Amino acid sequence: MPLVRIDVPQGKSDEYRRAISDVVYDTTINILNVPKGNRFHVISEHLAEDMVIDPTYFGIHRSDDAIIIQITLNEGRATLELKKSYYKALADGLHERLGLRREDVFINLIEVKKENWSLGNGEAQYA
């Protein structure tokens, strides 16, 4: 049950934002083995002054087109090696589909226990 938050600089087209969502969705299914139909994405646009992303942290040179993808998922879903494969596949997929520089793809995974989800009806479906 991933919940995905995607933050992009203001001015990107609907098609661009949708393409990012599509690549995240497809990569999550293919690499993390999440079931199809499990798509919960929130995409937010931000003014340049509201996206404070260090342009050179860790020796990676980011441009003004840098995006942030934050994914909350069940704890233990992915091993370290699977996470590394996921990061690479996601950055590669965005580069291939949109020409987005790999350096401009910031990804953060947040793992939570299964009982921390309610998918609706005020129930804890995974508990």
Query: Per residue in 30-73, pLDDT tens?
Result: 999 999 999 999 999 999 999 999 999 999 999 999 999 999 99
Q: Structure pTM?
A: 0.94
CA dist 33 and 46 (Å) reads: 31
Q: Which residues are registered as beta bridge partners of 26?
A: none
Mean pLDDT for all residues in the chain: 95
Question: Where are the chain's structural domains?
Answer: 3-116
Contacts for 58 with CB less than 8 Å, ≥ 6 apart: none
In terms of Cβ atoms closer than 10 Å to its own Cβ (0-12, 13-18, 19+), residue 71 is buried
Q: Is the pLDDT of residue 1 over 80?
A: no
Please report the pLDDT score of residue 126 as a whole number.
Answer: 85
Give me the CATH code for the 3-116 domain, please: 3.30.429.10
